[in-house]
Structure 1
Amino acid sequence: MTTTIPSTMTGVYLPGTSSTERRELPVPTPGPGQVLVQVGASGICGSDIGYIYRGYKTHKGVDGPAYRGVVSGHEPSGRIVAVGEGASRFGVGDRVIVYHIAGCGLCDNCRRGFYISCSAPSRASYGWQRDGGNAPYVLAEERTLVPLPDELSYVDGALIACGFGTAYEGLRRIRVSGEGDLLVVGLGPVGLAAGMIGRGMGARRVIGIEPSEGRRRWADQLGVFDATFHPDEIGAALDLTGGAGFAFTIDASGTAPGRSTALEAAAEWGDVSLVGEGGELRTEVSDTLLHKQLTLHASWVTSLPAMAELAENLVAWGLRPEAIVSDRFTLNESDEAFALAAGASDGKVVFVAEGDV
């Protein structure tokens, strides 16, 4: 398939004032080890909202703005339309997910596949320190690509690129299985992903906790949660376990109350996963942690191999990430898309190519 590549394109930038800007820029040419991906879909992440859209804030210990005024978006998926010299694993026409960090490839974390934790100064995140996926094309390092199975859409791929990868790693750490029930605290996009993946991994029951009535309704229609509750109804959720608590809990809320709920609702010898960014962890130690013999896991995104594994597993489980998408926009609607993602969206907000809304 031959694609005519234009010389310029329009990308979405975030000036840090709870608004967006669309600017014209050249379509890049891939250099050694790089590819040009025609973006089929690109998701809006909560970290984009908290750290960039609403203003310049420090992130990952960076002194000063972590966002470098580049094209936004670190959740792209699409089709390769050009390859640079030395690119060998992927070729023109391949459907791919872009892992959102370009690590050095040499430090210990990179060699484990965790580019997210790269310790080198050259580490650059798409949409933060280098141009990201909120544009018709994104220049990507071939080493950051994950194959997108034919059974999955570009929207599926965009969701795997960050939120679903984050949820999967958190659930892998606590070894979710049919030996116990799973409690998901916070039913934003990552929490919805955790519920879906937990179902795929075989959790006996999947229960959600979320204060927003709209988000609970959205979660209920997915068909992966056995029940959802307001945080004030945690007692009713525990009743489903006979009062014993949950063998597996995961907090995707990123809030102190949410994390406390995940800990307090865990059963004896339970496993707790924390994946929500920001905020604090507040807990009583003796009765909540020590006497229940809990194991606490903290997880940040996932690795390249695990992301590829997740894509294949989703196909095997018959699950489609795009089911959690509540709103689709084109890049020309960037103001509306980001405002909704920063406000009252029920599910995930994504950009899709013109004509695919």
Structure 2
Amino acid sequence: MRAIQLTAPGTLELVEVPTPTPGPGEVLLATAAVGACHSDLHILDAPAGSFPTPMTLGHEIAGRVAEVGSGVTGWSQGDAVAVYGIIGCGRCRACLRGLENQCRTVPVGGIGLSRDGGLADHVVVPADRLLPLGELDPVQGAPLTDAGLTPYHAIALSRDALRPGTSAVVIGVGGLGHMAVQILSVTTAATIIAVDTSEAALRLAKRMGAHHTVQAGPGAAEQIRQLTGPAPDGAEVVLDFVCVDASLDTARQVVSTGGQLTLVGLGGGTLPMTPTAGPPPVPLETSAVIPFWGTRAELAEVIALGKQGLLRAEVQTFPLTEAVQAYQALRDGEIHGRAVIVP
């Protein structure tokens, strides 16, 4: 079968590999769609030894059951499924509570991260990672497993603060950010302010339910303040899907006293939090959280939103033979919404 593999640090190739066989408790999926994520670029760029090689990438997976391994019940050939990509240890306190995204034993383990992922004609996954898609288009189902789940989880961590009359700022309207705008729109009554450098992204945010859009740049914080009010008022929740120095600086300037900064992006910027004798770098009582992916229960809720037509990814599709080019387009900022590979 064909597979898109990380064959060496910085090297992504389309290769031919044997079709895998499911072991006990596993299923073989015929891959229908796989989302291309910015975190895949971080895997590609990571130093030697950070991830196994060769390894098939792809952790946003939708497909159909092709074969079940011994001991698997509840799934039959042809079932349409989405894959929950995290594989925790199953034994630590976090995993036992269903918080596998907080596993205390396996910091970052999962399909397309520590074992072969879905950018192939077939992929083997543990049967307990599957959730039913029903009639939902797999091109829509695949992005829900990360591009939908991650912002859903991030928003869930702040849900108590997102009451009617509050404001939420979404910085970065990309693969995750445009889903965050929709999730805020359909699950909260907060005023949604979307921020991005791209006019096209801001138009997308408007279509997805943003009440206001702001061009990122030196004057962004002031424009947001005109909408949320002067300090100590401001946005109760700021979700930064970029997390470079500039976006973090905007985030800290517009969050309210007692507000929450939710840092999702992998931009590597710096956010000062330590109190000083002078004006504090962030408002008093401000908290910051770094969410990671989400739980299986949350993914079931995200899929339910998708089935109801309340959450829909803006997608650009590519055949498997053009997956390498799709990742380059993602790196170059040419993808609006989510790139989805369709084997």
Residue 313 of structure 1 aligns to which amino acid in structure 2?
Answer: L
Does the 8 A contact of 2:63 with 2:80 survive in 1? yes
Q: Whole-Å Cα distance in 1 between the matches of residues 37 and 331 of structure 2?
A: 10
Hey, what does 1:236 align to over in structure 2?
223
Secondary structure at the residue paired with 1:51?
A: helix
Identity in percent: 29
Question: More deviation in 114-123 or 139-148?
Answer: 114-123
The match for 2:81 among 82, 89, 96 is: 96
Does the 8 A contact of 1:149 with 1:311 survive in 2? no
Q: Whole-Å Cα distance in 1 between the matches of residues 152 and 303 of structure 2?
A: 10
Does the 8 A contact of 1:34 with 1:84 survive in 2? yes
The question of 1:50 aligning with 2:42 is answered yes
Hey, what does 2:265 align to over in structure 1?
276
> Per the alignment, do residues 320 and 34 of structure 1 end up closer, same or farther by CA in structure 2, a change over 3 Å counting?
same
CA-to-aligned-CA distance 1:76-123 (integer Å, 9 cap, x gap)? 111112111111233323221111122232222322333334344697
Unaligned runs of 5+ in 1: 1-8, 59-63
Q: Whole-Å Cα distance in 2 between the matches of residues 123 and 270 of structure 1?
A: 28
The question of 1:296 aligning with 2:288 is answered yes
Hey, what does 2:26 align to over in structure 1?
34
Does the 8 A contact of 1:249 with 1:273 survive in 2? yes
Structure-to-structure mapping, 1:137-148, within 5 angstroms: 137-148=122-133
The match for 1:329 among 318, 326, 330 is: 318
Q: CA deviation at 1:281?
A: 3.1
Structure-to-structure mapping, 1:140-219, within 5 angstroms: 140-150=125-135, 152-175=136-159, 176-219=162-205
The question of 1:85 aligning with 2:70 is answered yes
CA-to-aligned-CA distance 1:42-97 (integer Å, 9 cap, x gap)? 01111111231xx3337xxxxx3224321111111111121111112333232211
CA-to-aligned-CA distance 1:275-323 (integer Å, 9 cap, x gap)? 222514323646556754223222111111111122223444x32332x
Q: Whole-Å Cα distance in 2 between the matches of residues 336 and 117 of structure 1?
A: 33
Secondary structure at the residue paired with 1:189?
A: coil
CA-to-aligned-CA distance 1:226-250 (integer Å, 9 cap, x gap)? 2221223332222122433112211
Does the 8 A contact of 1:104 with 1:122 survive in 2? no
The CA RMSD measured in Å over matched residues stands at 2.4
Residue 320 of structure 1 aligns to which amino acid in structure 2?
Answer: L
Question: More deviation in 179-188 or 232-241?
Answer: 232-241
The match for 1:116 among 101, 104, 119 is: 101
Q: Whole-Å Cα distance in 2 between the matches of residues 93 and 37 of structure 1?
A: 9
Secondary structure at the residue paired with 2:153?
A: helix
Q: CA deviation at 1:184?
A: 0.4
Q: Whole-Å Cα distance in 2 between the matches of residues 83 and 109 of structure 1?
A: 28
Q: Whole-Å Cα distance in 1 between the matches of residues 67 and 107 of structure 2?
A: 24
Q: Whole-Å Cα distance in 1 between the matches of residues 105 and 272 of structure 2?
A: 34
Q: Whole-Å Cα distance in 2 between the matches of residues 121 and 237 of structure 1?
A: 39
The question of 1:343 aligning with 2:335 is answered no
Does the 8 A contact of 1:164 with 1:193 survive in 2? yes
Secondary structure at the residue paired with 1:14?
A: strand
TM-score (norm 2): 0.88
Residue 238 of structure 1 aligns to which amino acid in structure 2?
Answer: R
Residue 46 of structure 2 aligns to which amino acid in structure 1?
Answer: Y
Secondary structure at the residue paired with 1:192?
A: helix
> How many pairs align?
333
Does the 8 A contact of 1:255 with 1:278 survive in 2? yes
Question: More deviation in 307-316 or 201-210?
Answer: 307-316
> Per the alignment, do residues 122 and 262 of structure 1 end up closer, same or farther by CA in structure 2, a change over 3 Å counting?
closer
Q: Whole-Å Cα distance in 2 between the matches of residues 179 and 241 of structure 1?
A: 10
Q: Whole-Å Cα distance in 2 between the matches of residues 159 and 11 of structure 1?
A: 19
Q: CA deviation at 1:129?
A: 2.2
Residue 347 of structure 1 aligns to which amino acid in structure 2?
Answer: G
> Per the alignment, do residues 70 and 216 of structure 1 end up closer, same or farther by CA in structure 2, a change over 3 Å counting?
same
Residue 270 of structure 2 aligns to which amino acid in structure 1?
Answer: L
Q: CA deviation at 1:208?
A: 0.9
Does the 8 A contact of 1:183 with 1:248 survive in 2? yes
The match for 2:342 among 324, 332, 352 is: 352
The match for 1:252 among 241, 245, 250 is: 241
